[in-house]
C-alpha cells in the first residue's frame, strides 16, 4: 500500500477518498507503468548492446583505416616536405623565365620595329635611286636620240648635197659631151656603165 500512497501523492490526490475499485485500477495502472518501464529498460539495454557492437565495429574500422592510412600520410608528408623547396624553386624559376621571355619579346618587338623602319627607309631610298636612274636613262636615251638626229643631219645633209653636186656635174658633163665635136659619134657613157 505504500506504493499506492506514493502514486496517489504523485497524482496529487489523497488516499482517503479511494474505493476498492479505484485501488484495483491504480494497481493495474502501476503494473502497466512498471511493465512499460521494464520494456523501455530492455529496449534501452538492447540499444546499448547494439550501440556497443557498432562502436566496436567502428573502432575496428578506424584502427584498420588508421593502420592503412598512417604510412600513406607519413609518406605524403615526407614527400611534401621534400617537394616543398623544389616546388618553390620551380615556381621562382618559372617566374624568372616569364620575366626573361617577356623582356626578350619586348626586345624582339623593338628590333622588329627598328627593322621595319630600316626596310621602309631602304625602300624609300631605293625608290628615289630608281627614279634617279630612270631620269638618267631617260636623259641618256633622249640625248642619244638627239645625237643620232644631229649625226644623221650632219652626215646626211652633206652627203645629199654631195650627191646633188655629183648629179649636177654628171648632167653637165653629159650635156657637154653631147655638144662637143668629139661626142657626136661617140656613145655617151654614164658613170654607172663603167
Q: In this structure, are residues 5 and 15 in contact, taking their beta carbons and an 8 Å threshold?
A: yes
Angle (CA) 122 128 131, round 5°: 140
Please tell me which residue, 152 or 169, carries the higher pLDDT value. Answer: 169
Give the confidence band of 148 by pLDDT, cuts at 50, 70, 90: confident
pLDDT in tens, 66-88: 888 888 888 888 887 887 888 88
Residue 152 has pLDDT above 80, yes or no: no
pLDDT band, very low/low/confident/very high, at 13 (cuts 50, 70, 90): low
Expressed in angstroms, the distance from the first to the final Cα of the chain is 192
The tens digit of pLDDT for each residue in 85-139 reads 888 888 888 888 888 888 888 888 888 888 888 988 888 988 888 888 888 888 8
Instruction: Give the mean pLDDT of 34-43.
Output: 92
pLDDT of residue 1: 44
pLDDT at 194 over 60: no
pTM strictly above 0.95: no
Q: Write down the mean pLDDT value for the chain.
A: 80
Cα(64)–Cα(151) distance, integer angstroms: 120
Confidence band of 6 (pLDDT split at 50, 70, 90): low
Predicted local confidence at residue 35, as pLDDT: 93
pLDDT(178) > 70: yes
Q: What percent of the chain has pLDDT over 70?
A: 82
Hey, where are the domains in the chain?
2-180
Residues 6+ away with beta carbon under 8 Å from 4? 15, 18, 23, 26, 27, 30
Give residue 79's pLDDT.
80
d(CA 162, CA 156): 10
Amino acid at each position: 500500500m505504500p506504493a499506492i500512497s506514493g502514486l496517489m501523492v504523485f497524482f496529487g490526490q489523497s488516499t482517503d477518498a479511494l474505493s476498492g475499485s479505484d485501488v484495483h485500477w491504480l494497481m493495474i495502472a502501476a503494473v502497466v507503468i512498471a511493465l512499460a518501464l521494464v520494456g523501455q529498460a530492455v529496449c534501452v539495454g538492447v540499444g546499448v548492446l547494439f550501440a556497443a557492437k557498432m562502436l566496436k565495429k567502428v573502432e575496428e574500422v578506424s584502427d584498420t583505416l588508421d593502420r592503412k592510412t598512417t604510412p600513406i600520410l607519413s609518406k605524403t608528408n615526407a614527400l611534401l616536405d621534400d617537394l616543398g623547396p623544389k616546388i618553390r624553386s620551380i615556381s621562382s624559376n618559372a617566374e624568372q623565365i616569364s620575366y626573361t621571355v617577356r623582356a626578350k619579346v619586348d626586345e624582339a618587338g623593338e628590333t622588329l620595329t627598328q627593322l621595319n623602319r630600316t626596310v621602309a627607309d631602304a625602300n624609300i631610298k631605293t625608290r628615289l635611286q630608281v627614279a634617279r636612274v630612270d631620269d638618267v636613262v631617260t636623259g641618256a636615251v633622249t640625248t642619244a636620240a638627239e645625237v643620232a638626229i644631229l649625226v644623221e643631219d650632219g652626215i646626211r645633209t652633206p652627203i645629199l648635197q654631195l650627191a646633188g653636186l655629183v648629179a649636177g656635174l654628171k648632167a653637165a658633163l653629159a650635156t657637154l659631151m653631147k655638144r662637143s665635136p668629139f661626142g657626136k659619134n661617140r656613145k655617151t657613157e654614164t658613170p654607172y656603165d663603167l
